[in-house]
């Protein structure tokens, strides 16, 4: 079935690294995504990784993909208070011009001094 | 500025009183979608539209209607709202090509049905 799972809460100290984990179900997913939702705002695409990649780095963000275990992670280096938000993992299912985006429940990241 | 706008941002209404939440995008995107966000459940798709006059049900369409008469607009209609439709609603749009999960979201509409 369609299911993307992630832990609901993560608390880190400012300056430390944050690692948000996600497991997905569809091994045929072409892309996997991380979205960020700041308080009172809509979701914003943070980064995505193509399924034939193991890792993608973008400034402070590192995405790791383990296709064998269907595990995706987002690492935020030098976490800042501005990184406090809800982070959603998502995969796309389907084909033929329509791809359904399936979201996890979201991980609330709290950054404390 | 490329954006998806929604109105109203906040709405409190009573059971059974018809309402419409508007959504508009200025990016000439073919695809538009409505989601609802509930605690612990993430986002669930209500309806989507691949283009003008083409709409289809998502995972939780019961109690909702949509229309797509123009490319830029995709209103969500609740004909007879009920308390279980109290939620945070997001409209999103994207272009046709990959990655198809690259969606642009509106700021959200918080709906309370009493």
- The confidence band for B99, taking pLDDT boundaries of 50, 70 and 90, is confident
CA distance A26 to A67: 10
B45-94 pLDDT, tens per residue?
999 999 999 999 999 999 999 999 999 999 999 999 999 999 999 999 99
C-beta atoms of B98 and A31 within 8 A: yes
Q: Which residue has the tokens 């439709």?
A: B85
- The confidence band for B101, taking pLDDT boundaries of 50, 70 and 90, is confident
- pLDDT at residue A13, rounded to an integer: 97
CA distance B77 to A8: 31
Structure tokens at B34: 């409505």
C-beta atoms of A99 and B106 within 8 A: no
Judged by DSSP in three states, B101 sits in coil
- pLDDT at residue B37, rounded to an integer: 95
Q: Which residue has the tokens 């538009």?
A: B32
CA dihedral A4, A19, B107, B46 (to 10 degrees): 0
- pLDDT at residue A97, rounded to an integer: 53
Interface check A41 vs B, CB under 8 A: yes
C-beta atoms of B42 and A98 within 8 A: no
HSE at residue B60, side-chain half, CA atoms within 13 A, is: 16
Structure tokens at B46: 């209500």
Q: Which residue has the tokens 């966000």?
A: B37
Q: Measure in Å the smallest separation between the Cα of A41 and chain B Cα atoms.
A: 5
- pLDDT at residue B47, rounded to an integer: 96
C-beta atoms of A105 and B40 within 8 A: yes
C-beta atoms of A90 and B41 within 8 A: no
Q: What is the pLDDT tens value at each position of chain A, 113 positions in all?
A: 468 999 899 999 999 999 999 999 877 777 899 999 998 889 999 999 988 889 999 999 999 999 889 999 999 999 999 999 999 999 887 655 566 788 999 999 999 98
- The confidence band for B41, taking pLDDT boundaries of 50, 70 and 90, is confident
Pick A99's closest partner by Cβ from B43, B101, B108.
Answer: B101
Q: Measure in Å the smallest separation between the Cα of B82 and chain A Cα atoms.
A: 24
Interface check A99 vs B, CB under 8 A: yes
Query: Does position B33 have pLDDT exceeding 60, yes or no?
Result: yes
DSSP A83: G
Q: Which residues in B lie closer than 8 A to residue A8 (C-beta atoms)?
A: 40
Neighbour tally for B68: CB within 10 Å: 20
- Find the mean pLDDT for residues B31-55: 93
Q: Which of A56, A40, A27, A37 is nearest to A105 (CA)?
A: A37
> Cα-flanking dihedrals φ and ψ of residue A12, to 5°?
-135, 160
- pLDDT at residue B22, rounded to an integer: 98
Q: Measure in Å the smallest separation between the Cα of B99 and chain A Cα atoms.
A: 7
- The confidence band for B13, taking pLDDT boundaries of 50, 70 and 90, is very high
Query: Does position B27 have pLDDT exceeding 80, yes or no?
Result: yes
The residue among A53, A101, A108 with the most chain B CBs within 10 A of its CB, best to mutate, is A101
> Cα-flanking dihedrals φ and ψ of residue B83, to 5°?
-55, -30
Interface check A108 vs B, CB under 8 A: no
Q: Which residues in A lie closer than 8 A to residue B109 (C-beta atoms)?
A: none
- pLDDT at residue A53, rounded to an integer: 86
């Amino acid at each position: 079935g369609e299911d993307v799972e992630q832990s609901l809460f993560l608390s880190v100290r400012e300056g430390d690294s944050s690692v948000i984990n996600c497991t997905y179900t569809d091994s045929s997913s072409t892309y996997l995504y991380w979205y960020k939702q700041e308080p009172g705002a809509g979701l914003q695409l943070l980064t995505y990784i193509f399924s034939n990649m193991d890792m993608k780095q973008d400034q402070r963000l590192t995405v790791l993909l383990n296709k064998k275990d269907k595990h995706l992670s987002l690492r935020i280096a030098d976490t800042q208070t501005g990184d406090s938000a809800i982070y959603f993992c998502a995969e796309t299912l389907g084909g033929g011009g329509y791809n359904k985006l399936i979201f996890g429940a979201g991980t609330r990241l709290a950054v404390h001094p | 500025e490329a954006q998806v706008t929604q109105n109203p941002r906040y709405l409190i209404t009573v059971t059974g009183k018809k309402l419409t939440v508007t959504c508009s995008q200025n990016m000439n995107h073919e695809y538009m979608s409505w989601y609802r966000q509930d605690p612990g459940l993430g986002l669930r798709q209500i309806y989507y539209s691949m283009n003008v006059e083409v709409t289809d049900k998502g995972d939780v369409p019961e109690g909702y209607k949509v229309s797509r008469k123009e490319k830029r607009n995709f209103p969500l209609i609740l004909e007879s709202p009920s308390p279980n439709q109290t939620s945070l609603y997001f409209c999103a749009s994207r272009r046709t090509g990959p990655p198809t999960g690259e969606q642009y979201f509106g700021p959200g509409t918080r709906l309370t049905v009493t």
